[in-house]
Chain A
Amino acid sequence: MNWEILGIWLGAGLTLCLYSFLYRDNPFYKFAEHLFVGMSAAYWVIYSIENVLIPNWWQQMFPAGGGFNWVWIFPGIFALFMLARIIPKTAGLSRMALGMIIGTGAGLNMVSFFQTNAMAQVKGTIISVSSGGVWIIFSNILLVVGVVTGLVYFFFSKAHTGIVGKTANVGITILMIAFGASFGYTIMARISLLIGRCQFLLEDWLPTIPRLLGLGG
């Protein structure tokens, strides 16, 4: 059996099943959709075992040099508490695991988000608005004004009236341009995926048909 051809046909068949949704919802689409959900779930479970549980838990608990590191029993217990949610009588135990995840995640994100998403962005906005040509100066001023007025728009503790309202109006104008640009960029990313799938069907799958029928190639 030629595994390469089988792989191409599987990929092409499932691609066509999914694209059949463009006509309308149908059993072929539903089949591929359900298969995708099941296989993706299994992929993430195996990924977690191979890339998280084995290196970060099992190999820490039973090091290569031998011995047993008892501290690593605790995350195992928390993990079991999380799984206890599937049994109604023990579901309450999952709160312990949730508390641990939420606490660690909150502590980790609080400082990292503040550093990367707030401080780094503020630092990036502190730029010279007087150097370069006229166009650069205008663009830099627009950048600074855009960030400040955008932040004013997101500040809901004060009513958007008077000078605050006027500033927020400038902010929303800049935000609309930004959202438009992001929207256009997202559409093009999806289109490039579509082109990739069409190329696969035309350049990889279609040429296999004459080969299978013995028509050369």
Chain B
Amino acid sequence: MRLVIPLAITFVTGMIMVLHFFVPHQPIKLLGDNLQDWFMIVTAASIFLGALNLMHVHFRKIKLKLKNWKYSPVTLTGFMVMFIAGLIYGVTEAKPFDFMFMNMVAPMGSTMFSLLAFFVASAAFRAFRASNWRATLLLTSAFIVMLGQVPIGAMIWDKIPLAKVWLMTFPNTAGQRAVMIGAAMGVVSTSLRMIFGIERSYLGGTD
């Protein structure tokens, strides 16, 4: 019974959404439109769940004095200050929440992603060693795209930016399309398996 009701909910909601696409009339339209809003509301609750779990993990770390526990108060304080500022003062411009987002969260986010440039570069150094002709193709393609993006590429040879555009427009589009079509087929088959209750690992087991 603990699996039957969730599986029934999955089947009914899944079928309503599929029908909603093909039958744009009442009452399916009303049900489908409402279900999309419900989906967003429950997904928002899962973000709350994630935040509560984050709190739980860090309180536990402090309580048991686990590795790096001294940094957990930083996470908890950062969360509480940002959360309370958003709740009390709102999220409009020139309020504390906006100030913290613009001057702390956004710069840290950009810096974190820019740090990846160094790690991607070191990974590229290892991955791009031309061990076979296909790896050489990958290396050459990446190198042309990188050079084509910056002015020095055009200074070396004015055709490099054109080669970059061609690479992105034709071979890259062909490869990405093959990946996208394959992934879409995977999504369709996995969705069908979930709606019909064949795939049920998300409920915590196969029993």
Contacts and interface: CB of A to CB of B under 8 A. Distances in A.
B194 interface: yes
Given A44-B47, A78-B38, A121-B180, A99 B104 contact: no
A192 B203 CA distance: 42
Interface residues of B, number: 125
Contacts of A206: none
A146 B114 contact: no
Q: A interface, by DSSP: helix, strand, loop or mixed?
A: helix
Contacts of B177: 121, 124-125, 146-147, 150
A151 B178 contact: yes
A187 B52 contact: no
B82 A114 contact: no
Contact of A92 (B2, B101, B145): B2
B172 A181 contact: yes
A159 interface: no
Interface in B34-58: 34-54, 56
Given A18-B112, A36-B112, A100-B9, A107 B42 contact: no
Nearest to A155: B182
A173 interface: yes
Contact of B39 (A83, A85, A108): A108
Contacts of B142: 180-181, 183-184, 187
A10 B149 CA distance: 32
Interface string A156-181: 00000000000000011111111111
B152 interface: no
A39 B42 contact: no
Interface of B: 2-3, 5-18, 20-22, 34-54, 56, 68, 71-72, 74-83, 86-87, 90-91, 97, 99-105, 107-118, 120-121, 124, 134-135, 137-146, 149-150, 166-185, 187-188, 190-192, 194-195, 202-204
Given A11-B107, A175-B175, A184-B149, 4 more contacts: A7-B102, A75-B38, A118-B180, A181-B142
20 contacts: A30-B71, A39-B78, A40-B109, A42-B81, A75-B41, A95-B204, A101-B39, A103-B194, A104-B36, A104-B39, A106-B17, A109-B187, A110-B188, A110-B195, A113-B184, A146-B178, A150-B174, A154-B178, A177-B172, A178-B174
